[in-house]
Amino acid sequence: MTQSASQIKWLPWIAGIAFFMQTLDATIINTAIPSLATSLHQSPLDMQLTIISYTLTVAILIPVSGWLADKFGTRVIFLWAVGLFTIGSLACGLSTTLVQLVIARVLQGVGGAMMVPVARLALLRCYPRKDFVRVLNLATMPGLVGPVVGPLLGGLLVTYASWHWIFLINIPVGIIGIWIAKRYMPNFTSTASHFDWLGFILFGLSLVFILGGIELFGSGSISLLLPILTLFIGVLLLFGYGWHAAKKEQPLIPLSLFKTRTFNVGIRGNILSRLGTGAIPYLVPLMLQVGMGMSALYAGCMMVPLAIGALLGKSLVEKVLHRFGYRSTLVLVTVVIGIITAAFALVSNQLSLWFAVPLLFVLGVVRATQFTSMNTITLADLNDQNASAGNSALAVTQLLAISLGLAVCACILKLFNSYGSGNAMVHFHQTFITLGALTVFSALTFLSLKSVDGDNLISK
């Protein structure tokens, strides 16, 4: 398929809109959680469902996006994706109950699951390989703005307008994206392979039940039998997927990927290390507002150093890996992240808030270093035959790790709140210490790497 000059010119910007919408939505909601809770007559400690429902939906549906794009075309699926995301945003802004908001977030997630992967696929098919990295970097630049602008914009909208606008702001961006994509996005199609629908159902349901079980553990008003039973069903379904994938010629996520040691370590590291740190962008604004009585705008401003630190970390990671190698870097930064996470227990009054600013900045630097290192080592030793499947599995794992980390964090906080002693700040401090300890413990995972692992990715 031949592309016109206008399609080649506009495609990176179309992809950039998708990246921006997704990263902005992922970060803008964190500072609005207490206002959302008040408006919907819920406890702020129960509002993590608004984030988990979105990330879990995206994680489950990412494997379908490529198959749909191959079958129906990149432009068709992208337009549907942005349309569903925009309609979901409108539904979020009109929600009056937590149930309505969660359903609307799921609809958003359906669109979000297809926007970025399909846009990336269109770039891959439009540009020669020698230009792909340059074009992808151009397309992802708007996505880097989202984490910086998101918390601050969320705080401004909640303080001077209302929480509804953190969702409604997506509507004009979505309309512009649809208009440009309809005019300039090429409609690439390909021979769609047979999709593993049974594996998709088994894997998706297992995640829903596992995360649902963790959520139920944090509720002190029900019998322990229900969360245990829910978790058991989830694990059973996961084993069912494993049994199915072992027999299937082209499963959703091939189990053979895990025979590659660096991939195995990278996936386990992604999940375990984010149990402690995945919820930091959610937990810190919550502590500042619920525990310390700060405004949403103040909480949003406090999260900007985290994003700026992340941008710096991305620029330094190559030099760090060149100096220390993957094994030492991942072990060291994971331990440092754990210590910094636990150190948030020292933030308790107006004066010590200034202590939180450098903590958040350094945390942004080391988290970006950890994420980039984990992601690249995960794919380092995959061959051409399984690189695509490995990349999809990594994308799913990253989102699942965020959902799982948030569920674990909320569960720990609610357990301390239900059974612990002291005020709200004490419970936040106990949660930070627990998450920090979990993160330090997760560093043991990276000891499975060899000192030479990843040397093919860096020039020593």
* Eight-class DSSP state of 63: H
The CA-based diameter of the chain, rounded to the nearest angstrom, is 67
Q: Where are the alpha helices (DSSP H) in 73-193?
A: 74-94, 98-126, 129-160, 165-168, 170-184
Q: Where are the alpha helices (DSSP H) in 344-386?
A: 353-379
The secondary structure of 39-78 as a DSSP string is HTT--GGGTTHHHHHHHHHHHHHHHHHHHHHHHH-HHHHH
What is the CB neighbour count within 10 angstroms for residue 232? Answer: 13
Side-chain-facing half-sphere of 401: CA atoms under 13 Å:
24
* Eight-class DSSP state of 29: T
Q: Which whole-number Å values give the CA distances from 41 to 36, 413, 414, in the listed order?
A: 8, 19, 17
Q: Answer for the pair 77, 68: CB distance below 8 angstroms, yes or no.
A: yes
Distance CA 362, CA 375 (A): 20
Residues contacting residue 432 through CB under 8 Å, at least 6 positions apart: 283, 341, 342, 343, 344, 345
Residues in the chain, total: 460
CA 166, chain centre distance (Å): 18
Q: Answer for the pair 369, 313: CB distance below 8 angstroms, yes or no.
A: yes
Token readout for 219 is 């509720």
CA-wise closest residue to 400 among 60, 30, 45, 110: 60
Q: Answer for the pair 441, 314: CB distance below 8 angstroms, yes or no.
A: no
* Eight-class DSSP state of 31: G
Q: Answer for the pair 253, 203: CB distance below 8 angstroms, yes or no.
A: yes
Residues contacting residue 388 through CB under 8 Å, at least 6 positions apart: none
Q: Answer for the pair 123, 15: CB distance below 8 angstroms, yes or no.
A: yes
pLDDT tens, per residue, the chain with 460 residues: 555 666 677 788 888 888 888 888 888 888 888 888 889 988 887 888 888 889 889 888 888 887 888 888 888 999 999 999 999 999 999 999 999 999 999 999 999 888 888 887 787 777 775 666 567 667 777 777 777 788 888 888 988 888 999 999 999 989 998 998 888 888 877 765 788 899 999 999 998 898 888 877 766 566 778 888 999 999 999 999 999 999 888 888 888 888 889 899 999 998 999 887 777 888 889 898 888 888 888 888 888 898 889 888 888 888 888 888 889 999 999 999 999 999 999 888 766 777 888 999 999 999 988 988 888 888 778 776 777 678 778 888 888 888 888 888 888 888 888 776 778 888 999 999 999 999 999 999 999 998 888 777 665 5
